[in-house]
Amino acid sequence: MASTPRPSHAALMDEVYRGQRHIYDLTRKYYLFGRDTLIAGLNAKPGMRVLEVACGTGRNLAKVARAWPGVRLFGLDISSEMLKSARAALGEEARLGEGDACAFDPQSLLGEPAFERIVLSYALSMIPDWQGALGHAAGQLASGGELHVVDFGDLGGMPGPFQRGLRAWLAKFHVEPRADLPQVAAAIAAARGLALESKRGPLGYYQLHVLKAPK
């Protein structure tokens, strides 16, 4: 008997977020820590192009606009459902497009060849080819640009039962913490000639990485 074809990642994300998008920001603020720390560290100047890959509801881009007035906002997501929320939240403040984090063409999708700041916030833990997505994002940096990444960490400082429960709960949403993200980020930075700064959040709950392109 033929097996049932697996849904594409785009279709899977639409299925997950068709209903979830309406309560996403309300619920995620309780466990997606480190996002505001990332935004505070962007050091974005007026006129800079700021792209969020896998922008979801647009929550982060809206906060970027408030924290760094005068920047130009861009976002992409593979889920057309999430983009409905982002467009409603951001209106004309941002240029948004539906695209794959691993293969988007920034010029054709968003009208820009590169960006001074790129953000990946709790996205790599949901992208099957997350190494490809990280490498592709790094390739879209303008001269002197920075790629800021925040995601679940190794969770190593948490009690075993809590850690196991969190992993099981995240798996229900197709989320998998990337324990080897520091090593992959370092390899991508070295291969592309980028500087790398990394930070481990309390108890290893989240990790922050900044890949910086030379000027």
- In this prediction, residue 6 has a pLDDT band, given cuts at 50, 70 and 90, of very low
Element (H, E) at 198: strand 195-200
Q: Per-residue pLDDT tens for 36-86? A: 999 999 999 999 999 999 999 999 999 999 999 999 999 999 999 889 999
- What's the CATH number where 191 sits? 3.40.50.150
For 161-181, letters b (16+ CB in 10 Å) and e give eebeebeeebeeeebbbbeeb
- Phi then psi for residue 56, to 5 deg, are 60, -130
- In this prediction, residue 162 has a pLDDT band, given cuts at 50, 70 and 90, of confident
Q: Which residues contact 5 (CB under 8 A, 6 or more apart)?
A: none
Q: Is residue 1 part of a domain?
A: no
- In this prediction, residue 10 has a pLDDT band, given cuts at 50, 70 and 90, of low
Mean pLDDT, rounded, for 102-129: 97
List the domain range (segments joined by +) for residue 17: 9-101+112-212
Q: Is residue 154 part of a domain?
A: yes
Q: Is residue 202 part of a domain?
A: yes
Q: What is the mean pLDDT of the chain?
A: 88
Q: What is the pLDDT of residue 25?
A: 46
49: three-class secondary structure by DSSP: strand
Q: Is residue 106 part of a domain?
A: no
Total tally of structural domains belonging to the chain? 1
Q: Is residue 4 part of a domain?
A: no
Q: What is the pTM of this model?
A: 0.85
Q: Is residue 3 part of a domain?
A: no
Share of the chain above pLDDT 70, in %: 86
Q: Beta partners for 206?
A: 152
Q: Is residue 2 part of a domain?
A: no
The rounded distance, in Å, linking the Cα atoms of 131 and 189 is 12
Quote the strand ranges of 13-131, DSSP E.
Answer: 49-53, 72-77, 94-98, 115-121
Q: Per-residue pLDDT tens for 186-211? A: 999 999 999 999 999 998 999 999 99
Q: Is residue 132 part of a domain?
A: yes
Q: What is the pLDDT of residue 8?
A: 58
DSSP secondary-structure letter at 91? G
